[in-house]
Amino acid sequence: MPVTLSYPGVYIEEVSSGVRTITGVATSITAFVGRALRGPTNDPVRVQSFGEFERRFGGLWRESTLSYSLQHFFQNGGTDALVVRVHNGAAAATLTLAAGFNLVAANPGKWGEKLRARIDHNTRPHLPTDPANSLFNLSVRDTATGATERFLNLSTDSNNARFVTRVLEQESNLVRIVTPPGTVPVLRPTAHGNPSAGADPLLDNASSTVFAATGSEGAAITDNQISLASLEAAKQGIWALQKADLFNLLCIPPLTREPGGDVNSQTRSAAAAYCFARRAMYIVDPLMAWDEPSDLTGASGLDSASWGLARSANAALYFPYIRQPDPLQENRLADFAPCGAVAGIIARTDGQRGVWKAPAGNDATLNGVVELSVKLTDGENGQLNPLAVNCLRAFPVTGRLVWGARTLRGADQLASEWKYLPVRRLALFLEESLFRGSQWVVFEPNDEPLWAQIRLNLGAFMQNLFRQGAFQGSSPREAYFVKCDRETTTQNDIDLGIVNIVVGFAPLKPAEFVVIKLQQIAGQIQV
């Protein structure tokens, strides 16, 4: 900012360099939507290891295909997940401590039946402003995990800063006050007695109370808990991800593990459309009944009304199912949807090589996968690849691999510019990074000084990616361009408050077909 020259002497003025660094966004935050044993519902929760998933959502559960997909994701190199738990009529366990004073588990499920609560009156002295007999202490333990919470000097007075309803709502991961129905009574609940000699107060029936057996896991989820149109306004199901700042990949595992438990066309279509709006990729699982290539190419295959998923550039299909030991079934082999493992491989490839590298090939090993539900031949792979089906293959020595990198828009007949998954994902990465990194431009004076700053900052970001090997070309001129000047922004645009920025890039495309031409050299004939 220019200084005011008011006295003779030397003035110091700091001049802005005009540099506003653009940072690339994350590329492999993966959202999972499905059923879990416990945890918040219709709210995206970030987990960065399977151990954290166990603590927050209860770990592996045979009825939860989501829990297995999370395990496969972290097993194959995934590091960052958003979990959206949905349920179908699950109920929370409850506990009545006094007339009108009801506790309820923080979220639905039978896990709440393992909770125990203890009340004591060893509080601070009542102040003149405290209603008589309004203060108490509450201790809660989850006997299944050992997690214990203790809240001191809670109050039944709604005007008190330690009002029990507010404190539990904001601080407890285990319990809530049931309101409505019922309101917190004026008087505190009766204190529990002392435990038996040497007993843990939160494990002894004389000094604590177990929650009632009122919890329920509910019925198996349906598509209506994930993608029913009315959920969008309530930000539930897949639209719960509206509460998340960013995700790059979306996995919706099958509804159940039983035959026919696939998500239907309603969910597939809604997921692909939502991913397009959020600049993300939907990893599509095949149907359980597809056990040979003809199932995908036939009348009930990819282009049938029952499949119902348009060929979106923001979706990629992988076939077949993977086969792994099931820890909950004496490690017997079982079939699982591939989305979690594939998402893990994509995350691993992004970390090792970059989003511009196809997540396929000899480095794309499916960790933990013993075999595939269908062993494809080269010929069968050749039938599916032109239809934009990414095959999972088993090879000698190298093992089980991802052997395809096309979007659903990548069928040969479509001749789409978004044929290849790494090209599409690189474009989404650039769009999101430039969108976030250009917010400073809004409301700036729309003239050459601004355009020069735009070219400088966006060009520096693209140049950094070029140096990392993200683009084709041996020079920046061949690899990318950033254009923002009088040609892109006319006087009419300026009058309308518009600045137009044109960014172009030359993407790397995978070497999908390797042709080796072998020729025999004939001996020279003497003339």
For residues 209-216, average pLDDT: 95
Q: Strands 249-251 and 209-210: what pairing?
A: unpaired
- Residue 387's pLDDT is what? 95
Q: Which two tokens stand for residue 521?
A: 């050299």
Question: Is 178 within 8 Å of 58 (Cβ atoms)?
Answer: no
State yes or no: pLDDT of 523 exceeds 70: no
For residues 387-401, average pLDDT: 96
- High-pLDDT (> 90) share of the chain, %: 86
Mean model confidence pLDDT for the chain: 94
Query: Who's near 6: CB < 8 A, 6+ residues apart?
Result: none
The ranges assigned to domains in the chain are: 1-22+444-527, 30-88+224-422, 94-210
Closest by CA position to 280, among listed 17, 2, 28, 467: 28
- DSSP-derived letter for residue 39 is S
pTM for the predicted model, two decimal places: 0.93
Please report how many Cα atoms fall inside a 13 Å half-sphere around the Cα of residue 124, on the Cβ side.
9
pLDDT tens, position by position, 158-211: 899 999 999 999 999 999 998 654 567 778 899 999 988 889 999 999 899 999
- Residue 526's pLDDT is what? 65
Instruction: Compute the distance between CA of residue 332 and CA of residue 371 in angstroms, rounded to an integer.
Output: 13
Give residue 525's pLDDT band: very low, low, confident or very high (50, 70, 90).
Answer: low
CB neighbourhood size of 404 (10 A):
27
Residue listed under structure tokens 């929760």: 45
pLDDT tens, position by position, 329-365: 999 999 999 999 999 999 999 999 999 999 999 999 9
Instruction: Compute the distance between CA of residue 152 and CA of residue 138 in angstroms, rounded to an integer.
Output: 7
pLDDT tens, position by position, 219-265: 999 999 999 999 999 999 999 999 999 999 999 999 999 999 999 99
pLDDT tens, position by position, 82-93: 999 999 999 999
Instruction: Compute the distance between CA of residue 250 and CA of residue 263 in angstroms, rounded to an integer.
Output: 14
- Residue 18's pLDDT is what? 76
For residues 372-385, average pLDDT: 96
Angle, helices 65-75 vs 50-57, to 10°: value is 160
Instruction: Compute the distance between CA of residue 41 and CA of residue 85 in angstroms, rounded to an integer.
Output: 5
> What CATH architecture is 30-88+224-422?
3-Layer(aba) Sandwich (3.40)
Q: Report the SS3 class of residue 471.
A: strand
Closest by CA position to 296, among listed 279, 319, 274, 315: 319
Closest by CA position to 407, among listed 419, 422, 423: 419
Please report how many Cα atoms fall inside a 13 Å half-sphere around the Cα of residue 141, on the Cβ side.
16
